Structure 1
Amino acid sequence: MSASIYQRPKNAMQSGKALIDQWVLEFAAAEAKKPDPLMGWAGSGDTQQQVTLKFPTKEEAMAYAERYGIEAVVHATPPRRLKIQAYADNFR
């Protein structure tokens, strides 16, 4: 069982930064999805894909993975780059 640990990204549709301090543990897919013969929807028998665990810190997420023997890969959070400009810069 493998998983990835990452920090939630900022929602691209909103300017707010709510919930970006949470760390998420998501399990990797154990089997490929296949189309349902009746409806045509994609699905699989792997229910671990549906599980998303949230933690307040990276250390707690790593400790959970170690406690339950989950091979976890931690993805580093990219640094935020702020483009500071004034309204007057639009008219240069």
Structure 2
Amino acid sequence: MLARIYQPSKTAMSSGTAKTKHWVLEFAPRTAREIDPLMGWTSSSDTQTQVQLTFDTLDAAKAYAKEHGITVVQFAPNKRKPNIRPRGYAENFAVDRKGAWTH
């Protein structure tokens, strides 16, 4: 069995980093997807592709895979530097602003 271990990235709809701290073990598909001739829907008989296991640490995910004889491919996360302003959002409404109000 082949699986991949990765740390999910943040969603495009959110600026927060919720649900990006854990690690996910996801199984690779064994068979290709098939197109249903009648309806045109895509289907597969492989149910392992529906399984996603989450772990708090990378070591826990690797230990689980080793214990169950799963061959894994690990993907390193692409971390972004946080964009933190010194005074944050409240800086827009500060009474001691140096520049002119532009809004």
Regarding TM over 0.5, the answer is yes
- Larger relative contact order, structure 1 or 2 (CA cutoff 8 Å, min sep 6): 1
- The TM-score, its normalising length taken from structure 1, stands at 0.85
Number of the residue aligned with 1:76: 76
Number of the residue aligned with 1:63: 63
- Deviation >6 Å, runs of 4+: none
Number of the residue aligned with 2:95: none
Q: CA RMSD in A?
A: 2.0
Please identify the structure whose Cα radius of gyration is greater.
2
Q: Where do 1:1-92 residues align within 5 Å?
A: 1-82=1-82
Unaligned runs of 5+ in 1: none
Percent identical residues: 49
Q: Name the amino acid aligned to 1:21.
A: K
Aligned with 1:18: secondary structure? Answer: coil
- Report which stretch shifted further, 66-75 or 31-40: 31-40
Aligned with 1:17: secondary structure? Answer: coil
Aligned with 2:6: secondary structure? Answer: strand
- Matches of 1:79 and 1:21 in 2, distance apart? 11
- Matches of 1:46 and 1:12 in 2, distance apart? 29
1:79 positional shift: 2.6
- The TM-score, its normalising length taken from structure 2, stands at 0.77
